[in-house]
Amino acid sequence: MGIVVVSGHFDPLHRGHVEHIKKASKLGDCLFVIVGSDAQLKRKYGYVLQPLSKRIERILRKAPFVQGVIVSVDKDGTQ
């Protein structure tokens, strides 16, 4: 079928995120998740609830079928 990509901050990862990721996984053969960096969260919201490493760990634990996690590096806020 193809490659599927979903993205978000996932701070914190909740049931709705997991359901979205599961549904996306059915749309192709390979699923990647793009996660917003801590710097992006700080710029957008002014704070980070869970550090990036914890968010990635939780995504991979709750959605072990994910092929990989990519950290979004948006330096100018244009994401």
Range of the domain at 44: 29-73
Strand order in the sheet with 68-72: 3-8, 30-36, 68-72
Residue 53 within a domain: yes
Residue 24 within a domain: no
Residue 2 within a domain: no
**Single-letter amino acid code for the residue at 16:** G
Do residues 71 and 37 lie in contact, with contact meaning Cβ atoms separated by under 8 Å? yes
Measured from the Cβ of residue 16, the count of other Cβ atoms closer than 10 Å reads 8
Residue 20 within a domain: no
Burial of 57 (0-12, 13-18, 19+ CB in 10 A): middle
pLDDT at 18: 98
Is-above-0.85 flag for pTM? yes
Q: Give me the number of domains the chain comprises.
A: 1
Residue 8 within a domain: no
pLDDT at 77: 66
Residue 79 has pLDDT above 60, yes or no: no
Residue 33 within a domain: yes
pLDDT in tens, 33-52: 999 999 999 999 999 999 99
Residue 14 within a domain: no
